[in-house]
Chains A and B, each alone.
Chain A
Amino acid sequence: MPSPRFPIPQGTLDMLILQILSLEPAHGYGIAQRLEQISRSVVQVNQGSLYPALHRLEQKRWLRAEWKQSETGREAKFYSLTPAGRRQLAVEKDSWARLSGAVNLIFGTAGEEGSR
């Protein structure tokens, strides 16, 4: 079943996770759902790559994890942002903004040239 949504670009998953967790702590499944909602089903996140990413971020000490009761009453592993994670998010947002700005600029100029 081919998906109409395009796959998430390499390396942006970490940033999205940090962004989601900057709002409030969440468990893995919650993050998966939130990713779907936020990206309005435009971006496809391979659920399999979510957990390695979470563990990688935890190992880098950008995330902290603890077992807490979830909304269904079962224990779930909740991730939250550490101060280092917050700083990292700012850095990534900034570099993303600059990158997309630059790409837009290039596309914008190229488009004008093409229309001429």
Chain B
Amino acid sequence: MIQLFNWFRRGALERGLDREIQYHLDRRVADLTAAGIPEPEARRRVAVELGLAQVREEVRDVWLTRWLRDFIYDLRFSARSFLRSPGFTATTLLSLALGIGATTAIYSLVDQVILHALPVHDPARLVLVDWKGDQVVGGFGSWNLMSYPMCRDLQQQTRFFDGVLCRAMTQVNLASGGDPKPVAVEIVSGNYFAVLGVGAALGRIIEEPDDAAPGAGPVVVLSNDFWQSEFGGAADIVGRKLLINQHPMTVVGVAAAGFHGVDVGAVPALWIPASMYAEVYPGSTDVQDILHRPTTWMQILARLRPDQTPARAQAALQPWFKTWLRENMLRPGFPAITADRRRRYLASSLQLTSAPQGHSTLRRSLAQPLWVLLAATSVLLGLACLNVAGLFLARGSARGREIGTRLALGASRGRIGRQLLADSVLFALAGGILGVAVAPLAIRALIAFLPPGEANALRGNLSIHLLAFAFLASLAAGLLSGLAPALHAGGGSLASSLRERGGTGSGGVRLRKLIVTLQVAFSLVLVIGAALFVRTLTGLLAKGPGFETSGILSFAVAPVQTGYSVTDAARLIRRLDEEVRALPIARSSAAARWAFLTGGSWNNEMTIQTDRRIVTGNVHLNAVTPGFFTTLGIRILDGRDFGARDSRPAGKTGFRSAIVNEAFVKRYLAGRNPIGLRIGQGSGPDVKPGTEIIGVCASFNYRGLRDDSEQAFFPMFEGADAGATFYIKVLGAPDQAISSVRRIVRQADPRLPILWFRTLDDQVSRSLTNERLLATLSASFGALALLLSLIGLYGVMSFVVTRRTREIGIRLALGATGASAIRLVLRDAAAMIAGGIAIALPCVAALGKLIRSQLFGVTATDPAIVAAAAAVLAAGALAAAFIPAWRASNVSPTNALRLE
């Protein structure tokens, strides 16, 4: 370490040494002259005595150690020689910078979404508590759902946990003076901040008493970012009242900066204690007394005691969990179930998984595409390395004589190899710096692919983490690309390299051909991947969701979040529906309780009453208004659409009629006439199937374009609608309807925010975010890869032609035609291309398994795609090889022979 430090102050060290030695010389000369020796003789004798140059060198070795000095001199030598050939330097740097920049950008997302630990105290001890088996009790939310009482009971298990928290993400209407607007909130148990070890930047955090009983804590804690963006960082924020879904709550504090909850990809604006669930989820029938009922709606994270491991705690908790399962059945709200179901329920177990990165729905959807992309960029980087290696080899052969001379003068092969390695390391580091410079741009471009809600959790900044990654990637790239040339310089016979004529060294043609073959293989893998993802995207787009999307505008409202009761909300939605329908610009319009293609759904098991009871798996449900199917162009295959008579008469409960989709009939009622059969929600013995099937509609996608599910629809307007999504078929461009819709909503209630305006085309494209990300990026990586390998091929073929100029010239002189010369060169290229394809195909087959879940309507080894990609690659490669081949055919025999 000292040695490195010495490098930077070597000027001062040198000057000191000069003075020191000068002093010695002068004193010695003075002593000698005093003893009677004439001064010139004295000086000569002293110089011999001391060996000036030798002393200086030896002292320098002490300062820097030998290898470090050599290495630094190598680097300087490399830098100087690179500056002399700017074209070579620019090409190489650019390909390395692209490779490193792309890899760093993708890694940044991988790090943020998948690897990065939460900014909380000792995140390594956090575990996610999950249920394995049949939970029986339904709920609402995303994944890993558990009940609030479960969290409370786990908190008693202090043998294993230092704390157990639960939390859920949702959206509320927030008003702080102006118009209410939707914001994301995290609803949390009272110990949430304490367990995570996150403090307050201002005021206090949410504490246990806030969550002691339902309604106990009408308080909120703001996130630091939201405090800054929304309140300008006002110092007097603590104590202010905010309206959350029209309920006043007090700001008690601001959370520590940099803390964004435990869900990467969902950034809460504020935190609310779970005790306020009724205000946060107004009017929903699912939400009744959920602090005591077994309803599942929260994720549970626990902090393990330091002496515990997830596996040990998980095993030790099972007996407790078995007892708990039985107790849970006694809670109010636990449904009646069949004996078979009960057996499955009791066989459930508890699972603890280490969760230093928290719980994330974004990670769930994005993890696989990101790994795929990281793998693709790594291949791309490998390709860039190969390119650089090829270029170095070419350069090495041009320097063959220089190297041969140095070897002859006594330089060791190791020393020469190290020089070449220094070249490539210097290069890779410079490329890395360039790559890091472009990486933030690339990261932002990547984030722009994601829908805004998810994207705002991600940052385009460089972190130490990222810089370290880029440095390691560059170093690896440097070593990788320098290894082949260095080894090559180390081998080979000295005599032959000196005997060769200038500029025509053997240049490791075999090695370079191998490199090009590998490049062809790498780029074919990437090109096939790109083709697969593009096919998936276009396939999904061409297939569509099964309903009409063009010319349809959708918007959503949630009146209960603005203080409406469900009855009033239903009345308002009905009024909006009628007014929107009456708009001149609307050809037709309809409303649904849940939005389509958002990834979420309302679902439940169903019981069908035929001659026996059939219990289904999860069926996706929705409530829609009459005319819904016509508006979206979904065919009614059998029976009829909903009409006015399907609305429930006053005083009765339960849906009167239902429409099921084709998939439902196919799976559960094959061969039967579904019309007139009765179904009911739920699977228990107490379910009374009272809803009549009145129609069958064509199957279409509910949650996303890949989803093929059984569905059932009920009529809307039965007095219990918390919110609705409207679908308007517009005459002309959908955007034109926005202002009229706004006016209608404002007239109905000026305080009611519209949650979103979206054309259905837009909704479709949003639901294809991952597919688009994969298709676009893999296509650009594929194109880059193709370009890199074509450059490589072109380079090596040009080199081969130059080397064989004499041979070709002789052949031509002896009567060979130009065409045969072209064939000669192309045969060489074709061998490399064929070799590359032969290497790539098994790799594609193996990698295909890993990306199967990302594909749609196509398999990784789809013969048409593989053949097309191989054909594109082969055509491009032959074209690249044709240029040097053409040159070869134009060799003039006389010139070629004179070249000697």
Contacts and interface: CB of A to CB of B under 8 A. Distances in A.
A10 interface: no
A52 B58 contact: yes
A72 interface: yes
A34 interface: no
A58 to B, nearest CB: 9
Contact of A29 (B27, B51, B59, B62): B27
A76 interface: yes
B61 A28 contact: no
Interface stretch (B16-24, B112-120, B219-227): B16-24
B28 interface: yes
B50 interface: yes
A48 B51 contact: yes
A52 B59 contact: yes
B235 interface: no
Given A56-B62, A59-B62, A77-B16, A51 B27 contact: no
B54 A55 contact: no
Given A47-B50, A48-B50, A29 B55 contact: no
A70 B63 CA distance: 26
Nearest to A27: B23
A52 B17 CA distance: 10
User: By DSSP majority rule, is chain B's interface helix, strand, loop, or mixed?
Assistant: helix
A27 B20 CA distance: 9
Interface in A49-64: 49, 51-52, 55-56, 59
A59 B20 contact: no
A56 B17 CA distance: 13
B2 interface: yes
Contacts of A13: none
Contacts, number: 52
B49 interface: yes
Interface residues of B, number: 21
Contacts of A20: none
A28, A55, A56 — most chain B CB neighbours (10 Å): A55
A76 B23 contact: yes
A48 B17 contact: no
A29 B63 contact: no
Interface in A82-99: none
Given A29-B24, A29-B27, A55-B63, A48 B55 contact: yes
Contacts of A51: 17, 20-21, 24, 55, 58-59
Nearest to B20: A77
Contacts of B63: 55, 59
Contacts of A116: none
Interface string B723-743: 000000000000000000000
A77 B425 CA distance: 40
A15 to B, nearest CB: 17
A43 interface: no
9 contacts: A29-B24, A32-B24, A48-B49, A49-B58, A55-B17, A55-B62, A55-B63, A74-B23, A75-B19
Interface of B: 2, 16-17, 19-21, 23-24, 26-28, 49-51, 54-55, 58-59, 61-63
Interface of A: 27-29, 32, 47-49, 51-52, 55-56, 59, 70, 72, 74-77
A-B pairs, 8 with minimum CB distance: A52-B58, A48-B51, A55-B62, A29-B27, A29-B24, A77-B20, A56-B62, A55-B59
